[in-house]
Chains A and B, each alone.
Chain A
Amino acid sequence: MILEYLTIALIALLSMIVSGNNLSAAVGTVVGSRIVSRQFGLLLGAGGFSLGLIIEGRFLSDSIFRIMPDVSYYVVVVLLISFVLFALATYFRIPLSLTMAIVGISLGVSLRARFTPDMPYVYLVIAAWVLAPFLSIISSFYLNRKVTAVKINDVWEAARIYKILLVLISFLTAFTLGANTFGLLAAMGHDSMEIITVMIIAIFAGAIFLSGGVIRRVSQDIFGMRYANAFVSLLVSSVLVEGATFFSLPLSNTQTLTSSVFGSGLSYNTKAMMSKPFLQVVAMWIISPLFGMLLGFLIA
C-alpha cells in the first residue's frame, strides 16, 4: 500500500517537473513572439499535455513493463532515481531527457533483478532514438527550404496564417508530449483513473508554478526564431513523437525538437549557428540512458 502511494506521489512530482520544464518547448514560440499571453500559453500547453495523456497516453501502456519487471518496489526505485536525477539536472540546467533516463534506469533495474526485457522492443526503442534526430534534421532541413522558397505576395497575410498555424502546432506539440512522455509515466502507474487524475492536476500545477523562468528564457533565447522556422521545427518534432506514440515507443520530445531546430538552422545558406550547445545536448542523449542504467543497476 505504501509503495502504491509512493508511486502516485513520485509520478505526480515528476509530472509537475516535466510539465514546468517542457511547457516552453511546446508554447515558447507563441508566448515569446507575443501571439498569445503567458497565461493563455500555460493553458494551451497544460491543456495539450492533459488531452494527449487522456486520449493517446494508453498507447504507451504496454511499453515500460516490456523493459522492466512489473513489481511495485522496482517501479518506486525507477521513479525515485528519475526524480532525483531530473531534479538535479533541472537545478544545474543540464538538458536531461526524462524519457531516456527512465528507459535507461529500467534496463539497469532489470539487469539487477535478472529480468529479461523484450529485447526486440528494446532494440526498436534504441533504433528510434538513433533515427529520430537524423530524421528530424533532414525533414526540417528540406521542409524549411521548401517553406522559405514559397513566393509570398502578401507578407502580412502570411504572418497572420503563420500565427494561427503556430498556435495550432504548439497545441499539437504539447498534445504529442502529453501522449508520449506523460503516457510513459502513466504506464508506470498502470494508467489507473487515480494516476491520470493526479497527473493532470500535477501538469497544471507544474505549468503554473514551475514554468516561469524556463518559459521566459526559452521563449526569448532559444526560440528567437522566425515564424516559418519555428513552425517547421515544431511540426517535424510533433509528427515524429506522434508516430513513435502509435508504435508504443517512448521518444524524447526534446530530442526531436532540438534536432529539428538544428536542421532548420542548417537550411540557411548563411549560417551563424553555435553547434557546441547542440553537441552538448547530443552528448546528454548518450549519457542519460547509460548513466540511468548504471544507477538503476547499483541502487535497485
Chain B
Amino acid sequence: MVNYHFLKKIMVIGERQSLLEMQKYMDIAIENSLILIEIFQRPEDPIEDKALRVSENEKKADNITLELKRNITSGAVGSTLMDNFLNLIETFDDIIDRTYWISREMTRTKDSLIANSFHMEPVGNFYSGFCAILEKNIDAVKKVNQMLQVSDIDGAKSIRTDIEKMEEDVDEIKDGIIDRLYRISESITYLTFNHINSVVHTLDDLLDDCEDIADLILNTMMSVSR
C-alpha cells in the first residue's frame, strides 16, 4: 500500500507552502500602512483608535511569526534553506514592527506637541512626504506578494528589479525630507527634529526590508531549482 503521508511530503513542496503562508503578513502590512497614511494626512484628528488597530495587527503578526517558525523548524523546510526562511520571517515581522513603532511615535509626539501647545504646521509639510513613502511601501508589499506566488526565476527577477526601483525612489524622497529638515532645523525644536528624522529613517527601512525579502525569495527559488 502506498504511504499517503510519504507521497504528500514528496509532492507538496515545503518551501513553496511556507512562502505562500507568508502572504498572511501582506494584508497586515498594507492595512498598517493605510492607517499610518490616515494618521499623517490628518494629524490633528484623534489617533488612539488607529494606533490600537496597528497594535492589534502587530500582535497578529507576532502569532503568525511564531506559527511559521514552528512549521519551518519542525520539518517544512530543509536544513540548508532554514536560515533563509527564518530570515524571511524575521524581515516580514520587522515591517510590521516598524509600522507599530511609527504609530507609537505618532501617539507620543502628538501628546507631547499638544501638551506643549506647539503647532502642527512645521511637521505637517513633512507628513505629505511620509505619505508618499508609505504609498510606495504599499506598492512594494504588493510586489512582494506577487513574488511569493511566481514560479519562474525571470518573473521573480523582474519583480525584484521593480522593488529595487521603488526603494531608490524612496531614498530620494527621504533625502529630500532630510535636506529640508536640516534647512529649517534652526526654527524647530529638538523634539520635532528628532521626530521627523527618526520617522523618515524608519519609513525608509520598510522599503529596505521589502528589498531584502525580494533577495531572500529569489535566493530560495534559485536554491531549490539549481
A residues contacting B by CB (< 8 A) are 32-37, 40, 148, 152-160, 162-164, 167, 219-220, 224-228
Q: Is the interface of B mostly helix, strand, loop or mixed?
A: helix
B224 touches A155 (CB 8 A): yes
0/1 interface trace, chain B 209-226, chain A, CB 8 Å (1 if under):
000000000000101111
- List, in ascending order, chain B residues with CB within 8 A of A219's CB: 79
Alpha-carbon gap, A204 to B215, bound state (A): 44
Residues of B within 8 A of A32 (CB): 78-80
Taking a contact as CB atoms under 8 Å apart, the answer to whether A227 and B10 are in contact is: no
Q: How large is the interface on B (under 10, 10 to 19, 20 to 34, 35 or more residues)?
A: 20 to 34
Q: Check B9 against A36 for contact (C-beta < 8 Å).
A: yes
- Expressed in whole angstroms, the minimum distance between the Cβ of A199 and any Cβ of chain B is 27
Partner of A158, one of B75, B79, B225: B225
Q: Which residue from chain A places its CB closest to the CB of B150 in the assembled complex? A: A155
Query: Does B152 interact with chain A (Cβ within 8 Å)?
Result: yes
Instruction: For the complex, give the distance between the alpha carbons of A33 and B75 in Å.
Output: 9
Residues from 75 to 101 in B contacting A, C-beta threshold 8 Å: 75-80
Most A CB atoms within 10 A — which of B6, B15, B78?
A: B78
Q: Is the CB of B226 within 8 A of A226?
A: yes
Given A33-B79, A34-B14, A152-B225, 5 more A-B residue pairs with CB atoms under 8 Å apart are: A152-B152, A154-B152, A155-B221, A163-B13, A228-B226
Question: B66-79: contact bitstring with A at CB < 8 Å (1 yes, 0 no)?
Answer: 00000000011111
**Do the beta carbons of A159 and B10 come within 8 Å of each other?**
no
The complex places the Cα of A167 from the Cα of B6 at a distance, in Å, of: 11
Lowest 6 A-B CB distances belong to which pairs? Answer: A33-B78, A159-B224, A154-B151, A155-B225, A158-B225, A156-B16
Contacting pair B16 A159 (CB below 8 A): yes
Interface string of B1-31 (1 = CB under 8 A from A): 0000010011101111000000000000000
B191 interface residue, CB < 8 Å from A? no
A160 in contact with B11 (CB, 8 Å): yes
**Centre residue among B14, B16, B80 by max chain A CB count within 10 A:** B80
List, in ascending order, chain B residues with CB within 8 A of A36's CB.
Answer: 6, 9
Question: B81: nearest residue on chain A (CB-CB)?
Answer: A33
CB distance B77 to A34 under 8 Å?
yes
Which of B9, B221, B225, B226 interacts with A35 by CB under 8 Å? B9
Docked pose: A219 CA to B82 CA in angstroms: 13
Is A224 a contact of B226 with CB atoms below 8 Å?
no
Does B114 count as interface, using CB distance less than 8 angstroms? no
